[in-house]
Structures are given as C-alpha cells and as structure tokens.
Amino acid sequence: MSQQDDLDRPDETSEPSQDVEMFLYACLFELGIGVLGMLVGWLIGVDVRAYLPRLDSLEVAVLAKQIAVGVVAAIPMLLMVRMVMMVDHPAISEIKNVGESSMMAGLLKLTGPELLVISLCAGVGEELAFRGCLLPAFIQLTDYLVGSQTPYQVGGGFAGASPFAVGLAVAVSSLAFGAVHAITRLYAVMATLMGVVFGLLMVFSDSLIVPIVAHAVFDAVQFLQARRELKAEDGQAASE
C-alpha cells in the first residue's frame, strides 16, 4: 500500500479519541464547579462538606435511606419535564433545538455508563457549589443580618434557622443555579424550579446526599432517554 493510500484512509481512531475528550471534558467541567464551590466556601468560612457523611461515623442504613429518598424525589421532576416537553410551544421547540446541537450530539454518542458517570459528576459538582456552599452561606448571612437570637451555624440542623433565612437562601441559590443553566429563558426557569426542589430536599433532610442523588438520577434518565431517541431516529433514517 502506498503512502498516498495511507493518507487517503479515514482516521479510524479520531472518533474514539474525540469521545474520550468529550467524556473527560464533561466530567472535569462538572467536578470543577464543585471544586470552585469548595474554594469559595473555604474563603468565606463555609465547610461545604458539613452535610456530607463522615467516613469515620458512616451509618449505612441512614445513607441507604438518603439515597432512596433522592431516587424517589427525581421521579416527579422527570414526569413534569416530560409533560412540559410535550407541549407545542415555541419556547419548548427552542429547548429541543438546543438538544440537537453539535455538543449535545457529541455527548449522546458516548456509552450509557459514560453518561451515568457524567450525571454523577454533575450531581456532585453542582450540588456542592449551590446547595453545599451558597445555600448555607446565605442562611448564615441572613440570620446574622436580621440579628437572630439563635443564629444558624453551618453544619447544624436547618430547623434551627429562621424560616425567612431558609426561604431566602433557597430562592437565591436556586436563581443562581438557573442563571448558570440559562441556555434558553424557559430552560433557566425550569432549572431554577429544580433548584428549589434540590434546596428543599437538603433543608428537610439535613443532608447533601439527597439532592446529589436526585440531581444525578434526573440527569442520567434525561441523557439515556435522549440517547435512545437519537439512536431510534438514526435507525429509522438508515432504513429509509
């Protein structure tokens, strides 16, 4: 075979290489958000790990219950989004068009296990930043500003914080969450509402594990469903 023939052959390794790069980029990006949250927390004196279980005092039964609550909590959000996406409206079409972008198409070429890992990274990274850092930081700041007689301390139960401080913190952290997901206006609104759910899950459970699991399960189901639909469309196009 001549050198020219070698040059004319398609690079069979290029696509797998691109898939690996996409996978690593997505994981590092999501985890990087969590690292940023931990850094901000360290700078302002908030222990982002305060609502995560410690290995030296880990209770398997409690952890299993929190994971189960997170899984169940993701179900109504998935059903709600599914119903919303069935509505015939320009704003819905705009979100669907984003789902057909080259970047999303690249993600959906990844394997199922890879998408599950990315979903877990998103759950961990984003929840560390928004619910692990911002939410308790704003509760503590609000309690301080209003001069609460029993000021909230990060790591303590949220039931001891003033309802006003908790509500404001959930709202602010959710708006910030929606802002970084402002792919379209409607998507930002939907992300903000999901942020409220994640925030309330943390407040009522006193655990960051619950929103992490709910977030990861939500993303995983969305990814796998979109991947399955894309494969079905490709198969139908090939048969035609």
Pull the structure tokens for residue 87. Answer: 């509505």
Question: Cα dist. 75→24, 71, 180, 201, 202 in Å?
Answer: 28, 7, 23, 13, 17
According to the model, what pLDDT value does residue 7 have?
Answer: 42
Give the DSSP per-residue string, 92-149: HHHHHHHHTSHHHHHHHTS-HHHHHHHHHHHHHHHHIIIIIIIHHHHHHHHHHHTT-S
Identify the pLDDT of residue 12. 47
Q: Is residue 58 part of a domain?
A: yes
**What is the per-residue pLDDT for 6?**
46
Predicted local distance difference test score (pLDDT) of residue 158: 92
Tell me, yes or no, whether 239 lies in a domain: no
Residue 4 lies in a domain: no
Identify the domain containing residue 79 by its residue range: 15-234
In a domain, 47, yes or no: yes
Q: Report the pLDDT value the prediction gives residue 146, as an integer from 0 to 100.
A: 83
Q: Give the model's pLDDT for residue 235.
A: 62
What residues in the chain have per-residue pLDDT under 50?
1-13
Residue 88 in domain = yes
DSSP 161: S
Say if 10 falls within a structural domain: no
The tally of domains found in the chain comes to: 1
Q: pTM score > 0.75 for this model?
A: yes
110 belongs to a structural domain? yes
Q: Looking at residue 15, what is its pLDDT? A: 61
In a domain, residue 5? The reply is: no
